[in-house]
Structure 1
Amino acid sequence: MNPETLELLVTREMPFGKYQGRLIADLPGHYLAWFARQGFPKGELGGLLALMHEIDHNGLGELLVPLRKKHPRRRP
């Protein structure tokens, strides 16, 4: 895992589904767990969801705090 991948968690939005438009880092744990059970999508999105699931499941969300400060979300 590299820092650029972690930055994607706080900048990339979920492109579909119930949580469309929400940052990957802000997806609820139960939603990430559902993907873990059902299977993550292929490609970069699936990798980001799997990584966020691991971070959430292991209680490592504090790792993203400095990145959230570096990339504050702007609302239109």
Structure 2
Amino acid sequence: MRVEEEEWIVEELRVEEEEWIVEELRVEEEEWIVEELRVEKEEWIVEELRVEKEEWIVEELRVEKEEWIVEELRVEKEEWIVEE
């Protein structure tokens, strides 16, 4: 009986250890996935903000250039009118 009892205990411990290992690996994998998704989301947000900022800067510069050109042409026209 003692041998059977020892074998049963050994088998129970082996099964418990395997279950523990499987659970630990599952938890580690979930944590890794969560971290990877967090990092990807942060990178995506940073990239989106960078693109939006670039687009905003380009638009602001375009508007400023247009305003400058309009003002320059207005001044030139006034000077031309005064000269005529």
Of Structure 1 and Structure 2, the greater helix share is in 2
The TM-score with structure 1 as length reference comes to: 0.23
The structure with the larger Rg is 2
Relative contact order higher in (CA < 8 Å, ≥ 6 apart): 1
The TM-score with structure 2 as length reference comes to: 0.21
